[in-house]
Structures are given as C-alpha cells and as structure tokens.
Amino acid sequence: MASGAQSKTSGFGLPDFDFSKVFAEMKLPALPDMDAFAAANRKNMETLSAANRVAMEGAQAVARRHMEIMQQSMAEVTEAMKAMSSIEAPKAKAAKQAELVKAAYERAVANMKELADLIQHSNAEALSLINKRFAEAMDEVKTLAQKAS
C-alpha cells in the first residue's frame, strides 16, 4: 500500500466500524416498566396455553365422536347385510338397497355436519381467548406508552 493515510481494517478486510458511536447517537425510547412487560408476557403465554388446551380438547372430542360414528356405522352395515340376505325377490331387494343407501347417506351428512360443528365450536372458543387477550395487550401497550410520555 502506498504511504499516506491508511485506514484501519478488521480481520476480514473491512473497515473498522465503531458501533458504540452509532448507539450513542440513537435516541431510543425509555425502557418500559419491566414488571408490566413481564406480566403481559406471562398473560400472553397463559392465554396461548389455554387456547391450545381448548383446541386439544376439541380435537379429542371430534376424535371420540368420529370413533363412535364409525362403530355405529359398522353395526348398521352388519344389520343391513342381515336384512338384505333375508330378501329373495329381486324387486324387493332393489327397493331395500335404495332405502338403505338413502338412510346411510342421510346419516353420513348429519354426522359430517355434527363433526364440523364440533370443530367450529372448538376453534371459535380458542380464537375468542386469543382475541380477548390481544385487545387487553393493546390496552396495556397504550397505557405503557402514555406512562412513558
């Protein structure tokens, strides 16, 4: 390098940069009340935990009900097979099949609606907890900002 003004460089060939000067010149807002900040974070975690618990309980209820529906369906299929085996006349057998298919379809639709309602209720309850906590958190932020002013 030619003689004259030499710049300092870091070990990576980059010029040294004094971060302390940058931070000293920055005007950072005052730190919030750390106790209030910790309490707010604790409330957030409690709310998320409660929402998770509600969602898990909802999922378990859906799984239980789904199992009950499956067991009921298997029993109904068994009964339908017995009923079909006792009918000899082709026209009567076709009519019975149509009746059984229609009943099975109606039950399936009702069961799907029931499961969807269970899921929707569980999700709405969990989301309600989170929405309530969010509104509270925004009020807390507003209060902290007013105290800092």
> What is the domain partition of the chain in residue ranges?
31-148
pLDDT in tens, 121-133: 999 999 999 999 9
Q: How far apart are CA 111 and CA 128, in angstroms?
A: 26
As a whole number of angstroms, the distance between CA 100 and CA 87 comes to 13
Which residues is 15 bridged to in the sheet?
9
| Per-residue confidence band for 3, with pLDDT thresholds at 50, 70 and 90 | very low
Token representation of residue 122: 């569980």
**Degrees, nearest 5: CA angle 41-42-43:** 90
pTM above 0.75, yes or no: no
pLDDT tens-digit profile of 47-97?
999 999 999 999 999 999 999 999 999 999 999 998 888 888 989 989 999
Tokens of 31: 């730190």
| Closest to 93 in 3D by CA, of 81, 108, 106, 105 | 81
Confidence at residue 24, expressed as pLDDT on a 0 to 100 scale: 66
138: tokens are 């925004």
Distance CA 47, CA 53 (A): 10
- Do 66 and 115 form a contact (C-beta atoms < 8 A)? yes
Residue 105 to residue 99: CA distance in whole angstroms: 10
Tokens of 42: 């604790």
